[in-house]
Amino acid sequence: MRLLFKQRMFSWFDSYDIYDEQGETALVVKGQLSWGHCLKIMTPDGEPIGTVKEVVLSLLPRFEFILGDQVVGTLRRELTLFKPKFELDCNGWTVQGDWMEWNYAIVDAGGREVAAISKQLLNWTDTYVIDVADPNDAVLALMVVLAIDAEKCSRG
């Protein structure tokens, strides 16, 4: 399953449209006023699916993945000098990125690639392609991408 993640150009808060392979809007992400990033994931009809919320009182950036009212995972930036590194606590997955912060892979405990994320260049806004092996993992993979993008945005 392939998703296209596009940030909206003119928005007060972080807002994204997520398109499926046919170019139809699959999901909508809207930022909310809060301390730190708070991104609500919804169906195109406005039905809530989940939330990516930044934990404000932490030494390094950390984000919680919330489905319903339950935290199902977290992503935390680790202290490194060059290549970005994230600690992912979700389904036994790990996330690996390149030093340019354009490409990422989410891998499960068995070494199987859950999702491949690549940033498309030469766009006015942040645009990522997310290739997910199992469509059931699409929302959680999207949450990882949202958290990484929000963390990069916080760094400037």
- pLDDT higher for 77 or 73? 73
- pLDDT higher for 107 or 124? 107
For residue 66, what are the contacts with CB-CB under 8 A and spacing of at least 6?
50, 51, 52, 53, 72
Residue with tokens 């979700």: 90
Nearest by Cα to 40 from 132, 146, 154: 146
- pLDDT higher for 113 or 11? 113
Task: Give the pLDDT band (50/70/90) at residue 9.
Answer: low
pLDDT in tens, 77-86: 888 777 778 9
Residue boundaries of the structural domains of the chain: 2-74+116-155
Residue 63 has pLDDT above 70, yes or no: yes
Mean pLDDT confidence for 40-52: 96
135-142 own/partner pairs: CB under 8 Å, 24+ apart: 135/1, 137/91, 138/1, 138/3, 139/27, 139/41, 139/49, 139/50, 139/67, 140/65, 140/72, 140/73, 140/90, 140/91, 141/106, 141/114, 141/115, 141/117, 142/3, 142/5, 142/18, 142/27, 142/29, 142/41
Question: How confident is the model at residue 57, as a pLDDT?
Answer: 79
Distances (CA, A) of 137 to 36, 62, 93, 107, 144: 25, 21, 11, 12, 11
Question: How confident is the model at residue 155, as a pLDDT?
Answer: 62
